Structure 1
Amino acid sequence: MFRRHSNKSELISEINPYSPVAESFRALRTHIQYAQEQPQHVQVITVTSSIPKEGKTTIAVNLAITYARDQKRVLLIDADLHRPRIHHIFDSNPANGLSQILLKECQWGEAIRKTHIPNLHFIVAGTIPKHPAELLSSDHFDELIEELKQHYDIILFDVPPALVLTDAKLVSAKSDGVILVARAEKTKSHMILKTKIQLEQIKNNVLGVVLNQKRERNRLVLNGYY
């Protein structure tokens, strides 16, 4: 279990649930719920970005908290097997995570970490493997997702930037929807469009784009598609 309030800047939805930023995450949750004609099918969600340092992990963590506070059973999985960060945010041991599950070195139940937030569990990335893409494209990963879906209402994957590594496409192809994170005044519109096109070419359901770190009002904004 992680230490309470281990990283205040990235756990804003838990630290200050009545802030404008926390409200933006509730709006994002609602958007996901009603963006589809059959919202009950959006159970597995991948959060990615076009390039590094756009805040995708912060978005994934706070969205997970928001779902958990809505009485959903939530599992947050760090599927960034190159530069994982979720263990830092939750101040947790980085060992014994997703890579160990996929390498069949442990069972998924042994890798589950609890938080003090009711309904919210997480799995760290684990030891960095030599060939992450091979693990994420394996049948064992497909089987893992199907089994986890029997135990959780919402499964959120934090993955590497989609324009940098193929891992994002491998995981998102196994998801019901993808959230694309863009950083205000940093991410160019043509990069967002390129990422969206690439994801949709492999039949991904892009739910929308989160504009992160917008200076006006210091809040998150869901703008839909660029």
Structure 2
Amino acid sequence: MRPLAKKTKQINNQRKLITKTQPKSPISEQYKTIRTNINFSSVDDEIRSLMVSSAGPGEGKSTTAANLAVVFAQEGKKVLLVDADMRKPTAHYTFGLNNTFGLTNVLTRQKELMDVTNTTDLSDMDVLTCGPIPPNPAELLSSRAMVHFLEEAYKNYSKVIFDTPPILAVSDGQVLANQCDGTILVISSGTTEIEGAQKAKETLDAAKAKLLGVVLNNREFKDTSYYYYYGKK
């Protein structure tokens, strides 16, 4: 990779992790608001596992998942961000990690979870990359191995955040949704069509997902992108 291209990629990744690079910015404050709403979304049971998805591609679900993981870690919770988008994984790019081994190796019993997690420069946050792209993502995510994975993850982390493929594109998110304590749906202002957002919600409801709320991404206000959260109605 050419030096200029590499530098541009590093800058773009820093922008994606705004909660880490600019923790006091207005956008970072919005992520903290989302965190607060998630914390108070269930009075009786703590949200230990959280799935973040979108209706379609390019709506910001991976950026949202990464920044939510950061703000939960900043709160002092031990957090594991899992790249469960086995179609188009991006976490290893965002955090500058090697993707040789990851989630797929754990689910196929080739590796143990704690042997392939990656530490970050945030003391309370680890990242599990996707690993080799498998031919059967939905089957892996719905397997008994995923149940075992969650059991192991809960022993070491207080919060497990999954970045999953778009709900309307493939069935991967649907099969994982009912295994997680909560789901956040990301939609992009000016990009996501109302019909698509409604269809995504209906799909999650059919999968018996616990939809906690929606993040409206890329809503411009005074030339700044803000992230708004509102609970499920």
Is the contact between residue 60 and residue 186 of structure 2 (CA under 8 Å) also seen in structure 1? yes
Amino acid in the other structure paired with 1:189: I
Aligned to 1:68: 73
Amino acid in the other structure paired with 1:199: L
Structure 2: gaps (5+ residues): 1-9
After superposition, residues 136-175 of structure 1 pair within 5 angstroms as 136-175=141-180
Amino acid in the other structure paired with 1:200: D
Cα-to-partner distance string for 1:97-122 (whole Å, 9 max, x where unaligned)? 00111111111111110001110001
Aligned to 2:34: 28
Is the contact between residue 64 and residue 74 of structure 1 (CA under 8 Å) also seen in structure 2? yes
- Following TM superposition, by how much is the alpha carbon of 1:202 offset from its aligned partner in structure 2, in angstroms? 2.1
Amino acid in the other structure paired with 2:107: L
Aligned to 1:186: 191
Amino acid in the other structure paired with 1:23: E
- Does residue 84 (structure 1) correspond to residue 89 (structure 2)? The answer is yes
After superposition, residues 1-226 of structure 1 pair within 5 angstroms as 7-38=13-44, 40-216=45-221, 217-225=224-232
What TM-score does the superposition give when structure 1 sets the normalisation length? 0.94
Equivalents in 2 of 1:5, 1:53: separation in Å? 19
Amino acid in the other structure paired with 1:193: Q
Equivalents in 2 of 1:224, 1:192: separation in Å? 15
Query: More deviation in 156-165 or 27-36?
Result: 27-36
Aligned to 2:6: none
How many correspondences in the alignment? 222
Amino acid in the other structure paired with 2:114: G
Equivalents in 2 of 1:54, 1:224: separation in Å? 19
- Following TM superposition, by how much is the alpha carbon of 1:45 offset from its aligned partner in structure 2, in angstroms? 0.2
CA RMSD of aligned residues (A): 1.5
Equivalents in 2 of 1:19, 1:196: separation in Å? 30
Equivalents in 2 of 1:76, 1:222: separation in Å? 20
Amino acid in the other structure paired with 2:41: A
What TM-score does the superposition give when structure 2 sets the normalisation length? 0.92
User: Would you identify which runs of 4 or more consecutive aligned residues in structure 1 move more than 4 Å?
Assistant: none
Is the contact between residue 6 and residue 91 of structure 1 (CA under 8 Å) also seen in structure 2? no
- Following TM superposition, by how much is the alpha carbon of 1:225 offset from its aligned partner in structure 2, in angstroms? 4.2
Cα-to-partner distance string for 1:173-197 (whole Å, 9 max, x where unaligned)? 1100000000000101221111111
Equivalents in 1 of 2:230, 2:39: separation in Å? 16
Is the contact between residue 177 and residue 208 of structure 2 (CA under 8 Å) also seen in structure 1? no
Equivalents in 1 of 2:37, 2:182: separation in Å? 12
Equivalents in 2 of 1:87, 1:117: separation in Å? 16
Query: More deviation in 188-197 or 61-70?
Result: 188-197
Amino acid in the other structure paired with 2:155: Q
Equivalents in 2 of 1:72, 1:37: separation in Å? 18
Equivalents in 2 of 1:6, 1:189: separation in Å? 29
Amino acid in the other structure paired with 1:131: N
Equivalents in 2 of 1:113, 1:124: separation in Å? 8
Find the residue that maps to 1:150 and give its secondary structure.
helix
- Following TM superposition, by how much is the alpha carbon of 1:36 offset from its aligned partner in structure 2, in angstroms? 2.2
